[in-house]
Amino acid sequence: MPCNKPRLYIALYPSGVRNNEELKYHWAFLIGPKVEKGEVVPGTRCHVKNSGVGWTYEEARLRNIRNTTNLLARIVVAKIQDEERLIALLHRVPIIQGDSNWRCLTWIANALAEIAKDGKCVSSAQLDWQKIEAFARQYVGDKTANGRYQPAPELLRAKPTWNMLENKESIP
């Protein structure tokens, strides 16, 4: 039986804070198909964002998860076993207001812990937040240092993608 399970990605975006490594990126989940045919691959982004009045959960269908606005990179962290269960779980991950140390990456780390605890929404997975965070920061840092996001035509290409399950890059 062929295995064509959707994939769960960690996505990194610039946060707008350049002089603080800890706050440098905005973190989100992307959900997309295993096989990405063509230039446009629809999917879903799930994340929390601070609109100035507090943190809110947002789930949005995306026209193309290979190259969303400001996307820096995608990291495959899991094969999705039950997408509906995963989405429901993400809706239930607590959002904390009024704590200056709580951010989007806190929510991502908490969500990964809940996904691991659930044990049913994903199958093969790398859910260790410390490994994911360290790798993702290094990966995007290396791509930035090597000029991957400059000049402007580079921004139109599908964004760098690393598969932590297979330990290989699928889009340079």
Residue 14 pLDDT greater than 90, yes or no? yes
Beta strands in the chain (DSSP E): 7-14, 25-32, 43-50, 55-62, 73-80, 122-125, 161-163, 168-171
In a domain, 28, yes or no: yes
Which residues on neighbouring strands pair with residue 69, listed in sequence order?
none
Q: Would you list the DSSP string of 36-51?
A: --SS---EEEEEEEE-
Indicate the pLDDT class of residue 153, thresholds 50, 70 and 90: confident
What is the count of structural domains for the chain?
A: 1
Which residues on neighbouring strands pair with residue 74, listed in sequence order?
11, 161
Q: Which domain holds residue 109?
A: 7-162
Phi then psi for residue 24, to 5 deg, are -65, -30
In a domain, 97, yes or no: yes
In a domain, 171, yes or no: no
Phi then psi for residue 25, to 5 deg, are -120, 150
- Two tokens at 4? 């064509």
State pLDDT tens for residues 86-95.
999 999 999 9
